[in-house]
Amino acid sequence: MSEKIIPGKHLWYYEQYTGGDVGFAIKISNMVHSEQTEYQRIDIFDNPTLGRVFALDGITMTTEADEFMYHEMLTHVPMFSHPNPEKVLVIGGGDGGTLREVLKHESVKKAILCEIDPAVVEAARKYLSTSVEFDNPKAEIITENAAEFVKNFKDEFDVIIVDSTDPTAGEGGHLFTKEFYRSCYEAMTENGVLSAQTEDPVYDLNWLKIAYKRISSVFPVTKVYQGFMPTYPSGYWLYTFASKGVDPIKNLRKESVDKMIPSLKYYNSEVHLASFALPNFLLREIERMKNS
């Protein structure tokens, strides 16, 4: 080949979805950072359309173009369902996007981010704009296995947000077990609520089924909700809300949501309520899981 390799023309990132028959390709205009850590491979690069892209083990975690869709839905649905969230635990989320959204809530006095891989935190701090709140005095960053870390607490957190990698990537599998969800339940206050990313229903429906069955076996209130996420598999993403008694529809603090609207790009109270209105194929799957 006589032509020189030209970034953005010849260099591509390719993510293969579950099953191996479908994938997603992104041109690399500038390679920013790449390393293999004890836990996973980290890649950060630029794309003319998506901006900065962050991937772990070949799976897209964030892009500048759409990360707000994921982080706002994962964070604000539980935060605005809780009556007064003061202490929050973010599990995973080493890019910092979920922590950023949590700290938009004035009621929060303490937010702990527990990320297993210190290299992710360091790379985010250097190269990702989502890390903007890492030095906030209300924030504490812990680099430990969250599945073990959460066992240290009883009746401690108002909100727990599970911003994990896919269960097939890195150490993500530790955050999809019944034991882990039980530890979260015990670490939460009486009005505690939890949200977790639980994959897409097109390529990874089985992971939703596994997560839902395990979460619902621990929490008396368990509801699946949905949102758009263009650069994730299928562009259609699912989350699971769980609590000891709080209902995410009846207990939505709409007035508080309205006050935050100027700082939000995706989430609002109408989106919150609509996200729990699921299509028939998902309702049928959830009903089967309840009856199995």
Q: How far is CA 103 from CA 28, 204, 291, in A?
A: 32, 31, 39
Contact 88, 64 (CB under 8 A): no
- Active site includes 95? no
Please, is 47 exposed, middle or buried when counting C-beta atoms within 10 Å of its C-beta (0-12, 13-18, 19+)? buried
Cα–Cα distance for residue pair 107/85, rounded to 1 Å = 6
- H helices of the chain, where? 67-79, 97-102, 118-127, 146-149, 178-187, 205-216, 254-260, 269-274, 280-291
Tell me the helices (H) and strands (E) count for the chain, helix number first.
Answer: 9, 13
| Structure tokens given for 237 | 């993403």
**List 163, 166, 200, 204, catalytic entry:** 163
Catalytic residues: 163
